[in-house]
Chain A
Amino acid sequence: MSALLQLEKTTIRFGGLTAVSELDLQIGKSELVGLIGPNGAGKTTAFNLITGVYQPTSGEINFDGQSTVGCKPYQITKRGIARTFQNIRLFPSLTVFDNVRAVFHLHLRGDVRHALWRGKGYHAEEKSVADRVLELLEIFQLGRFRDEPAKSLSYGDQRRLEIVRALAAQPKLLLLDEPAAGMNATEKVELTRLIRFIKDKFQISILLVEHDMKLVMEICERIAVLDYGVKIAEGKPDEVRANPKVIAAYLGD
């Protein structure tokens, strides 16, 4: 069976620094994979390679049977990979509703002419978009904030909204970049529940980059460990936890 996402010997160099070196990684359909590693290990760089922000120096990235090398980020999103950011990047001046709505242009049948002519088809489509946005917001208990500007939300709600916005792209693969960063213990429990819920409800694959070991060990089915851009271990949470290389990387030898 072919994996949904497959990285083969993906490498990126910035001048003399090899940030990610010959990374092999597979993510299957509706699998929840964790990517961990100490600071500066290249986790976010790996993310940026998958989403097209960076182009690999060498190696291959396949998504859903096709290479994504050379594609722009927006094209990759259209093909089914959506992400969140380590430091939240919402559209701050847009309302909660519009933050999600802006993503729905991916699913529009009409284009600019539709918006300019404003015929029956346009209004029908806008109505259905509004319904779907609200439905999505309701699922994640953000409905009551629909008309608030995104920047006025609390930190936890902003995190949640960013995930909802990514889900609005209807991805096959969701990339979460340190979703627990800056959260307190209660919020982390909440987040764990949320990630599980998303996986069950939307039946999508998730790749999670995270520092918080407890969270990663608890929800990931498989974990890959990066250190200095090299994958040093991969396996089930328990296997990874017991791996001496991983312990050395985290605690120093």
Chain B
Amino acid sequence: MNFRHAKTFLLGAIALGFLASLFADRINPYWLFIFYDIGISIVMAVSLNLINGYTGQFSLGHAGFMAVGAYSSAVITNQFGDLSFLAANGIFAVALLAGGLAAALAGLLVGIPSLRLRGDYLAIVTLGFGEIIRVILQNMDKVGGARGLSVMHGWTNLFWTFGLAAVTVYVVASLVNSTYGRGFIAVRDDEVAAEAMGINTTKYKVTAFVVGAFFAGIAGGLYAHSKQFITPGGFGFMQSIAFVVMVILGGMGNTIGVILAAILLTLLPEGLRMLSGIEHLPGLTAERPLGWIGDTRMIIYSLLLIVLMLTRPQGLFSLKKSSVQK
């Protein structure tokens, strides 16, 4: 992939996000929140792709990093009352950054065991980490414990969501598409050979975890200030799995595929919901003929995943043949 005009892409995407946010009040709020969800999913999936896809580590705790970012940023912004437009965005930026840094620190802590563990073993460690975060939050009364935490400010908007999604894509893609960054894939392909070729595998793995966690933390901040209410349960194991599914469906180590998968998998449950809401269909007399879809929506979603994995194990949007497929 040629990545020559990376900076142009980045600035263009941020400008586009800014323009879109100017017209945000004309967009149906239902759709607006779906757009936020899409942006957040992109940040999560693309950052997880650096860890799972490019570096070949298997993290099942990405939602844990997201929780760290969500709670950290929310605690910061909750200190402030009503602010002017500029002050609000300034504080928000600082809070998002703080959330990202807090998550990056957590990433560093998880990255250290990853030096010794591989594959399934690492997956279990990261899974345990995600659960620890959840349980700690559940027992912290200062942030509402299991009841959850109200976030006072709904500062997330299209500019922040898509601007930061663009930054995430830019950072991950520039890292990987450089001579320095080929090291990530080298670690994934053959750790022993990578080490023998002068690649400090430890440093690369920790870098992947820290950078991935940083962006997950930022996504958490966006999520908190979009929903305005967060509970520890919202960042559980199933949430981590959802992001892993996006990475696998998009094709491990394929940024564009992962972005598309994040969009698709965020829209799919909503799309099925809408389908079930159709009142009449030509030729069918029953009222809400597709109503059953609404009740079985999550089953259909799961079935679609199974079908997709069976038919396209190399990733939905990958052009290359999978190495899994013989």
Chain A positions near chain B (C-beta within 8 angstroms): 51, 53, 72-74, 77-78, 82-83, 85, 89-94, 98, 101-106, 108, 110-112, 114-116, 118, 122-123, 125-126, 129, 151, 165-166, 169
In the A-B complex, the 10 residue pairs with the smallest Cβ-Cβ separation, listed nearest first, are: A115-B178, A77-B198, A102-B182, A91-B189, A89-B193, A73-B195, A102-B186, A106-B198, A103-B197, A115-B180
Choose from B4, B175, B189, B193 the contact partner of A112 (Cβ within 8 Å). B175
Known: A102-B185, A112-B207. A169 touches B180 (CB 8 A): no
Which of chain B's residues have a CB closer than 8 A to the CB of A53? 192, 196
A97's nearest neighbour on chain B, judged by CB, is B182
Partner of B182, one of A105, A114, A122, A166: A105
Q: Which residue of B179, B188, B195, B207 has the most chain A CB atoms within 10 A of its CB atom?
A: B179
Task: Report the nearest A residue to B201, measured CB to CB.
Answer: A74
* B196:A77 contact, CB within 8 angstroms: yes
Partner of A91 from B6, B186, B323 at Cβ < 8 Å:
B186
With A74-B199, A92-B323 as given contacts, are A102 and B183 in contact (CB-CB < 8 Å)? Answer: yes
B194 within 8 A of A: yes
A176 to chain B, nearest CB (A): 13
Known A-B contacts A114-B180, A116-B174, A126-B178; the reply to A89 vs B192 at CB < 8 A is yes
How many angstroms between the C-alpha atoms of A151 and B190 in the bound complex? Answer: 12
Distance between Cα atoms of A92 and B188 in the complex (Å): 10
Kindly name the residue among B7, B183, B189 whose own CB sees the greatest number of chain A CB atoms within 10 A: B189
In the complex, the answer to whether B175 meets A126 with C-beta atoms within 8 Å is no
Smallest CB-CB separation from A107: which chain B residue? B179
Given known contacts A77-B198, A102-B186, A90 and B180 CB-to-CB distance under 8 angstroms: no
Who on chain B is nearest to A115 by CB? Answer: B178
Q: Knowing that A89-B193, A105-B180 touch, tell me 4 more A-B residue pairs with CB under 8 angstroms.
A: A83-B196, A105-B199, A116-B175, A166-B197
Q: How far is the CA of A108 from the CA of B179 in the complex (A)?
A: 8
Residues on A with beta carbons closer than 8 Å to the beta carbon of B175: 112, 115-116
Cβ A89 vs Cβ B190 within 8 A: yes
Chain B residues near A92: list those with CB within 8 A.
Answer: 189-190, 323
Whole-angstrom distance between the Cβ of A248 and the nearest chain B Cβ: 34
Interface flag for B148 (CB, 8 Å)? no
Asked if B6 and A104 sit within 8 Å, CB to CB, the answer is: no
Shortest C-beta distance, A168 to chain B (Å), equals 8
- A115 in contact with B195 (CB, 8 Å): no
**Chain B 199-222: CB-based contact to A (< 8 A → 1; otherwise 0):** 111000001000000000000000
Given the complex of chains A and B, what is the CA–CA distance between A238 and B189 in angstroms? 42
Given A92-B189, A92-B190, A118-B174, does the pair A105, B183 have CB atoms closer than 8 Å? Answer: yes
Q: Does B181 contact A (CB under 8 A)?
A: yes
When chains A and B are docked, how far (Å) is the Cα of A106 from the Cα of B180?
9
Q: Is B171 an interface residue (CB 8 A)?
A: yes
Interface string of B155-190 (1 = CB under 8 A from A): 000000000000000010011001111110110111
Instruction: Given A74-B195, A103-B197, A118-B174, answer yes or no on A112-B180 (Cβ-Cβ < 8 Å).
Output: yes
Q: Among the listed A89, A93, A104, which residue makes an inter-chain contact with B185, where contact means beta carbons less than 8 Å apart? A: A93
- Chain B residues 210-268 with CB under 8 Å of chain A are none
Contact at A111–B196, with CB atoms within 8 Å? no
A73 CA / B200 CA spacing, docked (Å): 9
Residues of A within 8 A of B196 (CB): 51, 53, 73-74, 77, 82-83, 85, 89
Q: List, in ascending order, chain A residues with CB within 8 A of B201's CB.
A: 74
B168 CB to nearest A CB, Å: 12
B197 and A77 contact, CB distance less than 8 A:
yes
Most buried by B among A73, A77, A94, A98: A73
Cα distance, A122 to B175, chains bound together (Å): 12
* B182 engages A94 (CB within 8 Å): yes
Report A75 CB to chain B, min CB distance, Å: 8
Measured in the bound complex, the distance between the Cα atoms of B229 and A41 in whole Å is 66
CA distance A114 to B4 in the complex (A): 14
A-B contact pairs, 21 of them (CB 8 A): A53-B192, A53-B196, A78-B198, A82-B196, A85-B193, A90-B193, A91-B193, A93-B323, A94-B182, A98-B182, A98-B185, A101-B179, A110-B180, A112-B175, A112-B207, A114-B178, A115-B174, A115-B181, A118-B6, A129-B179, A169-B197
